[in-house]
Amino acid sequence: MEAIKAEFVITGGARRDQDKIMTIMKQAWTITRQDLRNNPYVLLWTLLFTMYLGFTISFVVSIELGKSGALNPAADFVMLVLTPFLGFIYNHRTFKYLQEDSYTHMLAFLRTLPILVSAVIMSRIQQAILAFVGNSVVFFMLLFTLSGTLRVYAGPGFFISFALTWIGYGMLIQALYIYLEFLRRGKAYFWLSLVIMVICGMISVIVRIYGANLVSITAVFIKEWQLLSPVMWGALAMGSLAILVSYRITLRRLVRRDLA
């Protein structure tokens, strides 16, 4: 954190003359870069957790879409709950948010620096994008490799479209997590995260009651349309829009938030 402060003090004067958008992006990237540097094991922890998610979901999906054709809602539930987690970089702050209210403390420190509030939020979005790109490669490779049922739809077009569809959904829910990180304390963040999981469970059960399954429907529909799938493009559009809306609302409310 001190490294961030030193860098902003040195370069703050020159950046005031730059375009505002470029200033936001550069300041955000400074925060992102220093955050990664200050957590030397962050990539290892993130890789291990992503591999855990990939192993877990691949076996559940294999059971779900197996020869028995059972419509157990387990696959829908784990995909709905865990896919948004691909947008996290797993460091000390992520694991200690409940015990230490680490997000609030981080915001209180960053507020003392000569940086724009919008840059702080943009840094979180940058980290989410980096996480989705890196984590999704590992996650979906494991999912397609270990889940024999998904391999029957073999083809790069299907794999890419299936992954991007669920990434779009993950971005949608990640937008909610970004909002909660910046505007709620650790305990409230925890309980509201549980509410999101309960809602995902309810959706899974409702879909099951109607004799359907989101994972299988996604796979069958994408098999037909491949990279032209309106489901994929719709999911990505909704996810991107949700991130933008989350950014705007969070920015407006974070300026007025009391971090004491």
Per-residue DSSP letters for 121-141?
HHHHHHHHHHHHHHHHHHHHH
Do residues 222 and 165 touch, judged by C-beta distance below 8 A?
Answer: yes
Residue 37 to residues 4, 119, 258, 260, Cα–Cα distance (Å): 10, 18, 28, 27
**What is the DSSP secondary structure assignment for residue 16, as one 8-state letter?**
T
Q: How confident is the model at residue 172 (pLDDT cuts 50, 70, 90)?
A: very high
- Return the C-alpha torsion angle 167, 250, 27, 11, nearest 10: -170
Residue 104 identity (one-letter amino acid): T
Task: Give the model confidence (pLDDT) of 6-65 as tens digits.
Answer: 555 545 544 454 577 888 888 889 888 888 887 778 888 888 889 988 888 887 776 655
Query: Helix count (H) and strand count (E) of the chain?
Result: 13, 0
User: Looking at residue 115, what is its pLDDT?
Assistant: 86
For the stretch 177-187, pLDDT in tens is: 999 999 988 88
Two tokens, residue 217: 């429907």
Neighbours of 61 (CB within 10 A): 25
Q: Which two tokens stand for residue 73?
A: 């809602």
For the chain, give every domain's residue range: 2-254
